[in-house]
Amino acid sequence: MSARLQHKTALVTGATSNIGRAIAVAFAAEGAHVAVSGRSKERGEEVVAEIRALGGTAKFVPADLDGSAAASRQLAEEAGRALGGRIDILVNNAGIYPSPTTPDTDEETFDRVVAVNMKAPFFLTAAVAPAMAASGGGAIINLGSWIARLGISRGALYSSTKGAVETFTRAWAAEFGPGGVRVNAISPGVVQVPGHASEAMMAGTPAGTVGSPEDIAQAAVYLASDEARFVHGITLDVDGGRTTAAVIAA
């Protein structure tokens, strides 16, 4: 274990699988005390056990972030207690990805995706950021997506919510930065998910292959650490060049 986040506390939403899990484990490996949040107690406790086996400290804090302000406030309060009274780092990672075409998206799905992907991080940040500022500062990291800026034929709803998250990031940097709270975002590229073959989506990119959750986690460690103390309001692309460069065969 190194110590880039030593003596810091961190709340990671959607931390029971994939990118969120990798971020929670990476934060703990850097010395942070982590609140692992998600809907599944079983998976949450597995993440906590993994962190503790590696010598880190973590607690599971259950939450169903349905988009209501009440659910977000409750998580902020419970995570704060679990972490000893303060949250130094917040990672807004929880999200859902139904990907029907626009004509096939019903109103119920629309409202649910907006609630989880936009309203939940909005109200969680509203609950956490002022307390961060009052305690001397902190770092908020939002998870965007590469398809927020590169149109694909499915998932217009999901991509629009991630575009909103990137807009939140810039606005919150201006709103909370003067109080010592740094707000930034990560835009992951195509990341390997168990049971899904995604290699074809990275054809013609500089990386030429999918990324791993750990690739995203290391970017989160940087943005959460004091090494990024002069970084405000950015969206860091960690996407193997998917949105920035095309490799053309000679």
For residue 190, the 8-state DSSP code is S
Catalytic residue among 27, 123, 158, 172: 158
158 is catalytic: yes
Cβ contacts of residue 37 below 8 Å, gap of 6+? 11, 12, 13, 14, 15, 44, 60, 61, 62, 63, 75, 79, 94
Q: Is 72 left (phi over 0), alpha (psi -120 to 50) or beta?
A: alpha
**Do 202 and 210 touch, CB atoms closer than 8 A?**
yes
Q: Which residues contact 75 (CB under 8 A, 6 or more apart)?
A: 11, 13, 37, 61, 63, 65, 124, 127
Annotated active-site positions, please? 158
